[in-house]
Chain A
Amino acid sequence: MSFLEALPIALLGALFGLDVVSFPQAMISRPIVAATAAGAFIGNPPGGLLIGVVLEMIALDTLPFGASRYPEWGSAGVVGGALFAAQPSGMPGALPSCLLAALLTASISGWSMVMLRRMIARRLARTRDQLEAGSRDALLSLHLSGMSLDLLRGALVTIVAMAVFAPLVKAIVAVWGSESAASHAVVVVIAAIVAGGALWKVFHSVRHVLWFFAAGLLVWSALLMTR
């Protein structure tokens, strides 16, 4: 993928990365949306959706509580969706390797958010006197520069991730040794375990929650028999 080809993807990563915290937090940054949008951009929406759903199941494990550190799924979803949607269909190594690339991107991008927050704090320290004097200009400048830097952060993470992972994924897919069914099964088991564990972590204190989950499984079983 050339720099010019990666540029629109980087823009997408910037917009979805911005949504995570800065603006507008409408959850277009969730991987199920970001990866699907990236897949659609490449011309393969179902491909983007598939990896987006897997990433979404894994993302259920991380809730964006205030000052906690968490992976950044917006840019990572774009990277995962764009990489997977660009692979030829039927390649057994495509899903696991693209998923790995997306998870690594999410981790690195989460770290970049911490760096950005520290950078904004340093800028805040430099303008503290003006802010304490009630300067509108200082407040607007701090706020708008924070958002602009976040936009830039998302773009940089996406373009670097695409530059590193696009050739790497291509090489991995070319030499992949595991068979197709097993490759998909490993990904599915990982996603199911993380999603199930996340649901328990989030909802275990809700009364009768296991009964409701069991009722859901019963409905699924009934659906399975009627299909």
Chain B
Amino acid sequence: MTTVSPARDLPPRVKLAMYFRLFALQGSWNYETLNGTGVGFAMEPALRLLPGGLNGQQYRAALARESRYFNTHPYLAGVAVGALARAELDGVEASRIERFRTALAGPLGSVGDRLVWASWLPFCSLVAIGVFGAGGSALAVVGTFLLLYNAGHFLLRAWGLRIGLSRGLNVASALGNPVLRQGPDYIGRAAALVGGIALPLALQRIVGPGRALVGGIIAAAFVGIVLLALLRERAEGWRIALGVLAVFVLYSVLT
């Protein structure tokens, strides 16, 4: 087996290039390979360190292999990118790398979806809505949202790449990290608490001071929320909003 630089000693500029490329991981997202080509794109700077460099046979074989179908959460893709890059640089046989790719994709996707899209994002949105409800300025609302959300976002991507590069094919144990396993539950509870404060505060600010309609609005909203909650997956709230709003606009134009 040819000796190559161990991935844990990757030059900082290579790690940095991989980290920044992770932000563009979904640039060629498509229904054939999903974010597979993005994984190849993000890993490419590390693969240049393979024997023969850019023109080497190992580089070409690894790039082709790593650009095939892959599906994961974009923020946790660094775990896969780091682990696979290390495996390639350590000279792990191709069939083992392919089995590892297949095994890793599903868990990373579901953990990321639950932690980021279904917990962290709604939580940060609700905090920002709360800042608006409390009378915050445009800068305060947007600044709070972007700083809070991206503190988690940037750290998660960096953690993923670091853990992937350091653990290689043994990275699966990292998915047992308490933040990944229990984080969504804690964030969910925090989001519910913040939602209970933020939503009525924001609605009050939109309606404006001294409006007599607040009681009616709260009662109508409560009934609507219960109905929508009962429908759960069978109804998309935003589509219902679009339909109701279209009817109301039409009514207001015609009367």
Contacts and interface: CB of A to CB of B under 8 A. Distances in A.
Interface of A: 21-28, 30, 32-33, 36-37, 39-40, 45-46, 48-50, 53-54, 56-67, 71, 93, 96-97, 99-100, 103-104, 106-107, 117-118, 120-121, 124-125, 131-136, 139-140, 142-147, 150, 172, 175-178, 181-204, 206-210, 212-220, 223
A205 B193 CA distance: 15
Contacts of A186: 244-245, 248
Contacts of B254: 177
Contacts of A181: 211-213
A63 B41 CA distance: 25
Interface string B16-33: 000000011011111111
Contacts of B98: none
Interface of B: 23-24, 26-34, 37-38, 40-41, 44, 54, 59-64, 67, 71, 73-75, 109, 113, 117-119, 121-122, 124-126, 128-129, 132, 137-139, 141-142, 145-146, 149-150, 153, 184-185, 188-203, 206-208, 211-213, 216-217, 220-221, 224-225, 227-229, 231-233, 235-238, 240-242, 244-246, 248-249, 251-255
Contact of B37 (A40, A142, A219): A142
Nearest to B236: A61
B37 A124 contact: yes
B29 A22 contact: yes
29 contacts: A21-B26, A23-B23, A23-B26, A25-B23, A25-B74, A27-B149, A27-B150, A50-B206, A58-B237, A61-B237, A65-B117, A100-B249, A120-B29, A134-B59, A134-B63, A135-B63, A147-B24, A186-B244, A190-B245, A193-B241, A197-B229, A197-B231, A197-B237, A200-B225, A200-B232, A206-B185, A213-B195, A213-B196, A219-B193
Given A32-B125, A185-B213, A139 B44 contact: yes
A50 to B, nearest CB: 7
A191 to B, nearest CB: 7
Given A107-B242, A139-B63, A206-B185, A193 B225 contact: yes
Contact of A220 (B63, B201, B216): B201
A135 to B, nearest CB: 8
A96 B248 CA distance: 8
Contact of A196 (B142, B199, B206): B199
Given A30-B125, A63-B117, A177-B253, 17 more contacts: A27-B150, A32-B128, A61-B238, A65-B117, A66-B109, A99-B245, A103-B238, A120-B30, A134-B61, A134-B62, A135-B63, A139-B44, A147-B24, A177-B255, A181-B212, A186-B248, A192-B221
A206 B192 contact: yes
Contact of A22 (B26, B190, B200, B207): B26
> Which 9 residue pairs are nearest across A and B when measured between Cβ atoms?
A216-B196, A134-B60, A197-B228, A193-B224, A196-B225, A206-B188, A146-B28, A192-B221, A194-B237
A56 B188 CA distance: 18
Contacts of A33: 142, 145-146
Nearest to B54: A136
